Amino acid sequence: MNAEFRAPKGTFDLVPPRGEAMLAVREAMAAPLRSAGYGYIETPSFEETALFARGVGESTDIVTKEMYSFTTRGGDDVTLRPEGTAPVLRAVLENNLHRGALPVKLWYSGSYYRYERPQKGRYRHFSQVGAEILGTEDPASDAELVVLAVDAYRLLGLTGVRVLLNSLGSHESRPAYRAALQDYLRGLDLDEETKRRVELNPLRVLDDKRPEIQKALAEAPLITDFLSPSDRAHHETVRSLLTAAGVAFEDDPRLVRGLDYYTRTLFEFVHDGLGSQSAVGGGGRYDGLSELIGGPALPGVGWALGADRTLLALEAEGLALPGTTGVQVFAVPLGDEAAAWAFGLVTTLRREGVAADVATGGRGLKGAMKAADRSGAKYAVVVGERDLAEGVAQVKDLATGEQQAVSVNELVTHLKRLV
């Protein structure tokens, strides 16, 4: 490599054709949301550090180890966003969207940043599509989001995505479970950092992926044994709605996620073809998050789907990566007069919805035809000064080699029929 600079460790460049595939993945994830009436929202790439400390949770790995935080020249403490829910909720409150008709349904797409040990499927810069429903405690909203995510994966052709489902309960259930879990964990031989987590937020210990910790948790109490009647009813409604919608799911009473704001419904989308980093998306309900960041009571539920890991899942299933249709028509001008004419042709074709490109730089016929083949176009339009004088252009099928002369006055209509 001759370049002086490289992409920062743990990040990557998206270049064609993978960049086109990533764009197509994000569009496929957004398609079910758009059809369900979700509005698009976009927030800054950085926020006040306190937003994530309060919202995500000061005991989480994200806040304690993984955030890109810095002080601006003006003395403000800011952080590159490690997740999307807290910024979206902040924007909803700041712009008074919650004072209008409820629920508020939003979707977003962008880059997120976490300082982690780089490995396949886990990067320091990653892309997600997210969705949130704010202003309702209705379990139908929880089920709706799971269904929309499943539909997005199906739209991409994925068949190996599994849905894991759990309930973390609410303020009615959590205190008793927290106490029981702490009693159990205090009886284990744990390292000092894990012992500190036991006191701050024992659910974080359940999310510890170390084999020795998971083995020690084998007999830990389950939240599902502590659910209040209302929490249990909420969870059973979500389960029945998913079943009615034809969504298969697996009950996972040990499922937790690395964010403190979750309550009640929790879900994760996993793909076994990705190895240890099997999660391709996830989310859940966060009914108390608004109050944590200084807002009014505003229940919510949402998810984020990882575009990077979804690409890996597509590859694991041997599926062709999605992308744009590419160039359909490639113009090959021979001579200056033909070059000016060809420029006008491809401009017209593009405006008519036909993907088109043109050979530039005064290439000869052989070089221009090689460029046409590399473009992936189905047809080449070859035109020289003699053709223009006769009012025709040569349309060549690049797959069969067949060629025919077409009147320049009918050329655009002819090409639109072909493609």
Identify each DSSP E strand in 96-160 by its residue range: 104-113, 125-134
Give rounded-to-5 percent helix, strand, coil for the chain.
Answer: 40, 20, 35
Which residue, 409, 377, 407, is CA-closest to 393? 407
The answer to whether 262 is annotated as binding is yes
Count CB atoms within 10 A of the CB of residue 220: 17
Count CB atoms within 10 A of the CB of residue 318: 7
Count CB atoms within 10 A of the CB of residue 27: 16
CB 337 within 8 A of CB 158: no
Count CB atoms within 10 A of the CB of residue 154: 13
The answer to whether 83 is annotated as binding is yes
The answer to whether 132 is annotated as binding is yes
Give the integer Cα–Cα distance in Å for 309 and 296: 35
The answer to whether 128 is annotated as binding is yes
The answer to whether 172 is annotated as binding is no
| Sign, CA torsion 49/113/201/89 | positive
The answer to whether 84 is annotated as binding is yes
In the three-class reduction of DSSP (H, G, I as helix; E, B as strand; rest coil), residue 119 is classed as strand
**Residue at 194: amino acid letter:** T
The answer to whether 85 is annotated as binding is yes
Give the integer Cα–Cα distance in Å for 30 and 11: 24
Q: Which residues are annotated as a binding site?
A: 83-85, 114, 128, 132, 257, 261-262
Q: Which residues are annotated as a binding site for L-histidine?
A: 83-85, 114, 128, 132, 257, 261-262
